Structure 1
Amino acid sequence: MADETTPEAAVEAAGALVEAGPVSLWLTEQGFAHEIMERDHLGMELLRVEPAFLIPFCTALYAYGFNYLQCQGAYDAGPGQPLVSFYHLTKVSDNADRPEEVRIKVYVPRDKPTIPSVYWIWKAADWQERECYDMYGIIYEGHPNLKRLLMPEDWVGWPMRKDYISPDFYELQDAY
């Protein structure tokens, strides 16, 4: 038996805590590589996929029945850490008491944050990807209209990044 302080014991302990869920098992049977992450506080499956495999991965999930992109968003893991784009998918059907849900995460380096757009799979990603681009600078390749949504078109920088420095200026406004 491995000592609890060794790296092997930590891997064993971590592996024992994270079980593959039904979506992960199906994806593995179909040959889609992914990392199983620890479930969230609601017990939802969290899967990590590499950016290069996002489109075939999501296409498979759509074919599996995940026909609704409930939410797409992004966050900054911290200065010097990667940016994360996440996708909350739901199977919507008439005969299910409770819809099946899964969350996908894609980690990208902050110096070249490029991810393929899932707009062509779920049209709901349109403005959600634009907002993530506007706030974090993640470039969603293949998006039909990737431009600023909340900030002015000439804004410099990505205001939701944790290493963002606010510009030192005041906007002049008319009093009337």
Structure 2
Amino acid sequence: MQGRLSAWLVKHGLIHRSLGFDYQGIETLQIKPEDWHSIAVIFYVYGYNYLRSQCAYDVAPGGLLASVYHLTRIENSVDQPEEVCIKVFASRRNPRISSVFWVWKSVDFQERESYDMLGIPYDNQSCLKRILLPKSWIGWPLRKDYIVPNFYEIQDAH
């Protein structure tokens, strides 16, 4: 079933894939990584000026990585805010996705966390570096194919 926003994107010739609705009835759309930045700008201009959250996950071991954006359109009315969920899937070998930091500033630390834990480099991100793990950390611990090192440093535990 195609949602209202998906129909609007089709009407304007914007390539995407409708993923239906989630359990709360929020429309979910899939956008290609190369189209994400321009469509993000369109969403912002269309009124989705609040990025509620961004997260990422590993779809399957050796499979795709996903970056997920929850956008909200808040208008000066008593109606409920409109929400949409955007999923951008990227290949594991080259998971580059355009950063939307210049559209929604609040995504800064969220994209950096997705980079730190899953290794998704966001192009044009303001400060893409590790924020949770030390710079010397090797690998991406939230990937499903991550191999945990067989040593533990407990000397600093006391």
CA RMSD of aligned residues (A): 1.3
Match of 1:124 among 98, 106, 110: 106
Aligned residue number for residue 54 of structure 2: 72
Match of 2:122 among 118, 129, 140: 140
1:174 is displaced (CA, Å) by: 4.7
CA distance in 2, matches of 1:27, 1:59: 13
Bigger Rg, structure 1 or 2? 1
Gap regions ≥5 residues in structure 2 = none
After superposition, what is the alpha-carbon deviation per residue over 1:62-110, rounded to whole angstroms, capped at 9, x for unaligned? 1110000001010111112100001000002221421000011011111
Aligned residue number for residue 135 of structure 2: 153
Contact 2:67 2:89 (8 Å CA) reproduced = yes
Residue type matched to 1:81 in 2? Answer: G
Q: Secondary structure at the match of 1:124?
A: helix
CA distance in 2, matches of 1:20, 1:123: 30
Please list, as runs of the form range in 1=range in 2, the aligned pairs for 1:1-176 lying within 5 A after superposition. Answer: 19-174=1-156
1:22 is displaced (CA, Å) by: 1.5
Q: Secondary structure at the match of 2:21?
A: coil
After superposition, what is the alpha-carbon deviation per residue over 1:17-38, rounded to whole angstroms, capped at 9, x for unaligned? xx22121122222221100112
1:173 is displaced (CA, Å) by: 2.5
CA distance in 1, matches of 2:22, 2:98: 25
Percent identity of the aligned residues?
Answer: 49
TM-score, length basis structure 1: 0.86
TM-score, length basis structure 2: 0.95
Aligned in 2, Cα 1:169/1:90: closer, same or farther, shift over 3 Å? same
1:175 is displaced (CA, Å) by: 6.9
1:168 is displaced (CA, Å) by: 1.6
Return structure 1 stretches of 4+ with deviation > 3 angstroms.
Answer: none
CA distance in 1, matches of 2:126, 2:157: 39
Aligned in 2, Cα 1:174/1:120: closer, same or farther, shift over 3 Å? closer
Residue type matched to 1:155 in 2? Answer: W
Gap regions ≥5 residues in structure 1 = 1-18
